[in-house]
Every structure is written in structure tokens, then in C-alpha cells.
Structure 1
């Protein structure tokens, strides 16, 4: 059977970035509280539980706000096999399954980091291609070795079995996202924006090497879900600092960094100015609810965890400083508002991201010859893809070379 050639598109080329210190933020999808972060209070209940004939793990339901609108999230756990010692088993015959433990697992911090690494690899040249009858599904090929190597580079030393389990959980745990609408005298859910997993299609194929060790030679392909594919198609993504994301120790800190990156917008060529940058304020309750972090049994422990996550942004130079405004009843702290001032380095990242987005839009218009957003992916031949990369590279270099504007002078 003849091999079906991979199909590239203008949007896939524009998703690429040569700067490996960067990743891409897909704002709504990356801000959905779709991970379960284990604390000492929930370590044995919410993250993983045995699956039995008469009992199953209930779905997790959360609501969150994004861009001033309320959304609803339902998460259903993935089912995986593990040995009695707790080691993941990718597949098993009926006879083997009798000696295994079947568990239901929600994506947690490990899966959050592995997915971020997959997204970083997806930005390498010619990594993505289009599949499906309509050529509207985005597929990525890579190996477990690449994932492990990238994880080691950011100080995560999970073995191949753990990485494969994380990918399996992402491919099996279902995410249902819907938004509210007004009608019948009140607010109700509208149709689902997404009803899928992180990777609705995934396969791992072994290619044993001469030594018989196939772990490092497993070629994996996966398909991004419809919400991510649509964001790539519509150029609804922006560069963020991959280095910052990987250095931040708290999953809540990573969520906060993404939230700040999505919220801040600067004119291309602008730079930070003391009179032109406004602080942003988040309450502890907003962070708890919208990040999906779990609450401790004692309120003060929960607030301490939120403050620690915010302080990490200052330690990493993302925020210049943070003022904490306490809501107290006597000596008891009931709530905290965090007034955050972004740093010069953070605003420089935002400015560069704005440049990339504007150049991407300009290059796409040049390719299509139209001011209108294309209805689908725009196919490119290898020669056209090379031309698009060259054109974008020159435009980005030109944008970075322009004199910087002060924020208070920018239009």
C-alpha cells in the first residue's frame, strides 16, 4: 500500500517557533482547570481510585470564568491497568488482566507537564501534519525518547513507563467544556465547546533496536483535540516563556503565569513604562476556583498555598512586586487580594508575543491574498512552506529592529 503523504498548511508553519525557550498559549484551553492537583487532604480520594463492578469514580464538575464569561467543565477519569505494585501496564491479555488492578485516574501535575512538553515539541519544524478525510485534524509524530530527553532537560526524570502512562491518561480522560447562555428567564448551559480528550487519537508502536531495548525507539503519534486544532487553524495562540513554565514549581503558579499572559496585551514595539503599566488584582478565591487547585481542610493552609504560588512569580522575575491586601475578622484571615505589578521582563515577553501574532496574521493574508480569515487550513507545498518560513523570519527580524515605543505614547 502506498504511503499517504503528510499534508502541511500555512497555519501549521506559523505555529512553529525556532526559539526553544518559547511555547504557545492557547488561552481558553490552557486556562481550563482540567487537572487534579493532589494535596495531603485528597491524595487518596480524588486523584486515583480502584474501579470495581459496583463502584466507579464520579466525574468532577467545575465552573470557571474566562474573559468575563462563565464556563462549565466536566472531567471523567481515565481507566488504566497497574500491577499490584502500582506500575502502569500498557496492555494485557484477559489472562494477564486477572492479576492486574484496574484504576480510574484523573490527569494531575505530571500530565500537565507532559502535555506542555508535547506542545513544545509540536512547535518544531515540520512536526505537525493534517490528517482525516477533510484534512482538518492536526497530528503529531514523536518518540518517547524525545519526551524523556525534554523532561530531563527541565529536571523531570520520569521513566518511559511513567511517561507512557501520563500520555495514556491524557488520551483517555474526557473533558467536556460548555458555556452559559441567557434564555427562558435565566442562565443555562449552551452546547458543548469540547467533548473529547486531550489526544482523541494516539498510538505507540515499538521498533526494537539491535540490543533488544525498544523503550527509546517507540514512535508515537497523537491527534490534538478539536479545540486545539481550531485554535491553530485560526491562529488563536501566542508565545509564552517555556523556560518560565518549566521552572515554576507549583501548578498554580503555572496557571497564574498563563492567566497573566492571556490577560496582558501590548502594542507591537511597545516597552514597559512606569506610568503606562497598570497592576492587576486577583483574589485568593478567584485563583482557587479558576485554577482548579484543591482546598485544604483548614482555610489558612489553602491561603498559604495560594500566597506561595503568587510569591513564586516574584521569585522568577515575572512580577516586579505583589501587595497583599488582607480581609480579616479579628486575627483570622478570611481572604486575600493580590495586587500584582508585572516586571519589565514579563512585559518584554508580552511585546514579543504580540509581534509574532501580528506577523503571523500578515503572512497568512499574503498567502491567501485575502483579508478574511480562511474557513479551514490552507495547504502548502514544501516549497511554499519554505517561502512562508523565510517571509515570517524576515518580518519578525524587522519588527524586533524597530524603535521601541513608550506605552503612554502607543496608539
Structure 2
């Protein structure tokens, strides 16, 4: 693999289609690696997940990124959007655990210093590997991590000593594109897990879809999200309905309906224009 630009393009195409975060991880604690096959019009590949080896109750376990890790990454992306710097095309940010903890407390997500360190280490150490075809070309064992670099040097009460992180090229591009401006971060943290997942997907493609009616696959959205997939289709249908109502409540979409009521998969959604383009919202304060 010698084409770095194609490598980044592959992960940009892939990482909104497969799960990066996992709602239930207890069953994975004894599993150092698991994999599944994925195929669509662009990608036909085997995805392998490798966990972060650590200890719990004096025994070795493997951690995979979950809801806590997603919240911590989102808060870091928001901090980086406000004061990041470029490091050979990747976005880096210096921060303290004190700042990171307060950023999360402001949106009613409270974690201890130990939990923050564990989440950061899990994001850095866990990996996704891909072997397969992308747009007709074969790739072997391409790897993805959330961070290219991580240094943790302080506690949640230390305002001055700085930790640092360098994001992957995929996440760096999201920061540069302004996906997690203050208003976006504030709104996303109020949503349910599945609604937030769909919101991030819409933010990524906002310039192409604003003020348009688009068609989404309910099954694909659920499969790529952190929520646990039910064996019963009615349960999954209810989850997607609740998530879409959440997006409607937060004024991200103005209407939605199933294109085929019998299949309950294809969803037509009308995106609200001003929610994606109004810059004055960036100065809004996060509510108490």
C-alpha cells in the first residue's frame, strides 16, 4: 500500500458503514480479536477488531471502544476544533484531563480521571484491520486507530500540565470540515446513542444534502451504530423510529417516513437547511 491518499479515502468510505463503538462489551472482554465480513458497492472486505489488553480484578481482559470512549473522543474533537494545530496533515491538540473532564461535565457526562485515562488508552490501543477490495483494488491488512499519537501526563485536577493527542487522518478531516462546532457538539450530546450516530453521518455529508430529501437504510444505520442489534425486526424498527423522532425534536430533520412500510428499511428524510449553515450558533454557550 503506497497510496496514502487512497488509504485515507478508503477509511472515510468505510468508517460510517461499520461499527467503531460497541454498546455492550462484557461479552468481548475475553476476546482479543473478532471479525466479520462487509460488502457494498464500494467495499468487499473482512474487518478485524483487536482489543486493548489491560487488567480487571487481577485478570487480563480486552477492551473495545464503547459509549464512554465515543463521548471522550467527541469532547476531544470539540476541544481540537477550537485550538488545534496541524502536524504533517494530521490534527493535534494539547489539553489537560481537567479541561476534558469539565467539557464532558458541561454536557452532563461525568467520568473520573481513571475512566478518562482508560478511555483514551482504549481509543489509542484498539485497532481495526481491513483486508479486501475497495473500488476494484485489493488491499491487505490496512489498519486504523482513532489516534496516531497519545501522551497522558496529568490528573483531572491539574490545569497546567498538558497531555496531547494526534488524531487519525479520518478524524482530522472531520475537524477541519467543522463537523463538531460548539452547536453541533452541544446538540449531539443531548441525543440518544442511535440519533447521535445518524446526526454525525448527516453532518459529514451536510453540504451535499442540505434542504434535500434523502433516502437512508435503517438496517445499515443500526448495523454501523454502537447500539445492540435485536434479533426481532420490530425492536429495531422501534429504535430507528425513536432516533428519527429525536432528530426531529432537535430540529435536524423536518420530516421522515418509511418509503416502504412493509420493508421498514428505506427511510425518506428531509434535512433542515439552517441547522447546518448558521454560523452564529457557534457562539452559543453550553447550557447548565
Q: TM-score range by the shorter chain?
A: 0.7 to 0.9
Give the CA deviation at 1:138: 4.1
Instruction: Name the residue aligned to 2:268.
Output: 339
After TM superposition, the structure 1 = structure 2 runs for residues 95-114 of structure 1, keeping only pairs within 5 Å, are 100-114=58-72
Structure 2 length-normalised TM: 0.77
Instruction: Name the residue aligned to 1:386.
Output: none
Give the CA deviation at 1:290: 3.8
Output the CA distance in 2 between the equivalents of 1:318 and 1:178: 36
Output the CA distance in 1 between the equivalents of 2:91 and 2:25: 35
Cα distance change, pair 350–33 in 1 and its aligned pair in 2 (3 A) = same
Query: Is residue 2:264 matched to residue 1:307?
Result: no
CA contact (8 A) 1:35 1:292 kept: yes
Give the CA deviation at 1:179: 6.6
Match of 1:262 among 200, 204, 209: 204
Instruction: Name the residue aligned to 1:291.
Output: 225
Instruction: Name the residue aligned to 2:186.
Output: 243
After TM superposition, the structure 1 = structure 2 runs for residues 135-150 of structure 1, keeping only pairs within 5 Å, are 135=88, 138-150=91-103
Output the CA distance in 2 between the equivalents of 1:170 and 1:311: 30
Match of 1:322 among 250, 256, 281: 256
Match of 1:37 among 19, 22, 41: 22
Output the CA distance in 2 between the equivalents of 1:339 and 1:318: 14
CA contact (8 A) 2:95 2:164 kept: yes
Structure 1 length-normalised TM: 0.56
Gap regions ≥5 residues in structure 1:
1-25, 51-55, 85-99, 207-213, 329-333, 354-411
Match of 1:169 among 104, 110, 122: 122
CA contact (8 A) 2:179 2:204 kept: no
Output the CA distance in 2 between the equivalents of 1:242 and 1:156: 13
Gap regions ≥5 residues in structure 2:
1-10, 280-288
* RMSD between superposed Cα atoms in Å: 3.2
Cα distance change, pair 61–265 in 1 and its aligned pair in 2 (3 A) = same
Output the CA distance in 2 between the equivalents of 1:296 and 1:145: 38
CA contact (8 A) 2:128 2:143 kept: yes
Instruction: Name the residue aligned to 1:198.
Output: 146
Instruction: Name the residue aligned to 1:216.
Output: 157
Instruction: Name the residue aligned to 1:128.
Output: 85
Cα distance change, pair 199–327 in 1 and its aligned pair in 2 (3 A) = same
Q: How many residues are matched?
A: 264
